[in-house]
Chains A and B, each alone.
Chain A
């Protein structure tokens, strides 16, 4: 089997392509369609995190401030501000790192390396020390504090939180963190892992020297 024959068959298949004219190209350019490349998808994800984080923060803090009345409301609102502040700063920090990444006109191998780095950074979001040991436990802790403060009402915390209860809460916090961290990692991996593996395989093929 001659390869030129294969090549010609391949070339023939494009002869009948419906070429579009200049105005059709211009129209296609005007249509705002979401890009399906990994980089753009991740940029959208970071933006989504930022906006939902901000909206949720405003709504929750507003709701608690207006409708809830308990002794430690101010401390709790402060905890919420801290938590959402940390979450938003983290998302903004990551987004800014890739905001200007434009890799599509680079050579294939370096462009692929950059794409892999960006995806890995996103997939590892929950693996980072900050997210793992601070952000995640902080969010669970905030939730716990909310129920404790609400239960307490006007009673002093020391009256309902005995040493024994405090140990129980700490253990629950550790267990909840230990459960939620792998869950969040699994979700991220499920979203991007296959694609990441495929890209790594592709890079290996480019790097595979003779």
Chain B
């Protein structure tokens, strides 16, 4: 009975906050199959860790912690995109009719993010999702000042990559 209630509560919370799983899967995987696997893996890890969730932090914060830990520790069979030099990323996507400018920009942002390392991805995903420096420090266990410096560094890195990709020229 208690387990059923817990499961129901868990499912409701996951349904509400599933965006986190989509974001993390998309951030850490380039291929659809990998995304699906990671999504599933995160979901299972969340369910297994749910009894330890003690409401001391927000559910979304706890969920990010589990999702990022799973994504960082996942095994990658191949590291195709992360090793691609920027020059190999197609920059002529905008020329294709099927792509609107907005879609093209999204695509380029994801390509640029794909070039970050796992730790940088974890920090910037939280920043992009409007988490405060304090919250990011709490999730990652690094100091607030360090979070600030790292975010600035990652931002510059992203801007540089996007410039090379002719983003918003």
Q: Name A residues whose Cβ lies closer than 8 Å to a Cβ of B.
A: 1, 3, 5-7, 9-14, 17, 19-22, 25-26, 28-29, 31, 33, 35-39, 41, 102-112, 115, 195, 198-199, 201-203, 205-210
Contact = CB atoms under 8 A, between A and B. Distances in A.
B72 A109 contact: no
A37 B73 contact: yes
Given A33-B40, A35-B44, A107 B138 contact: yes
B11 A22 contact: yes
Contacts of A10: 106, 109-110, 113, 128
B99 interface: no
A205 B120 contact: yes
Contacts of B81: none
Interface size class of B (residues with CB under 8 A): 35 or more
A104 B117 contact: no
Contacts of B128: 7, 10-11
B40 A28 contact: yes
B95 interface: no
B3 interface: no
18 contacts: A12-B102, A13-B110, A17-B19, A28-B43, A37-B73, A103-B69, A105-B66, A105-B69, A106-B65, A107-B139, A108-B65, A108-B72, A108-B141, A112-B69, A112-B73, A202-B72, A208-B146, A209-B146
Given A11-B128, A20-B18, A109 B142 contact: yes
A208 to B, nearest CB: 8
A10 B53 CA distance: 29
Interface of B: 7, 11-12, 14-15, 18-19, 22-23, 26, 37-41, 43-45, 47-49, 52-53, 62, 65-66, 68-70, 72-76, 102, 105-106, 109-110, 113, 117-120, 122, 128, 138-143, 145-146, 149-150, 155, 158-159, 162-163, 167-168
Q: For the complex, would chain B's binding face be called helix, strand, loop or mixed by DSSP majority?
A: helix
A210 B110 contact: no
A115 B15 CA distance: 29
A1 B168 contact: yes
B64 to A, nearest CB: 9
A202 to B, nearest CB: 4
B47 A35 contact: no
B162 to A, nearest CB: 7
Contact of B159 (A1, A105, A107, A109): A1
Contacts of A207: 142
B109 A37 contact: no
Given A25-B11, A102-B49, 14 more contacts: A1-B163, A3-B155, A6-B158, A12-B106, A13-B110, A25-B18, A36-B41, A38-B73, A38-B74, A104-B48, A105-B49, A109-B141, A198-B76, A201-B118
Contact of A198 (B12, B118, B168): B118
A205 B66 CA distance: 19
Contacts of A37: 41, 45, 70, 73-75
Contact of A3 (B62, B102, B159): B159
A5 B102 CA distance: 11
Contacts of A199: 72-73, 118
Nearest to A23: B11
A105 B56 CA distance: 13
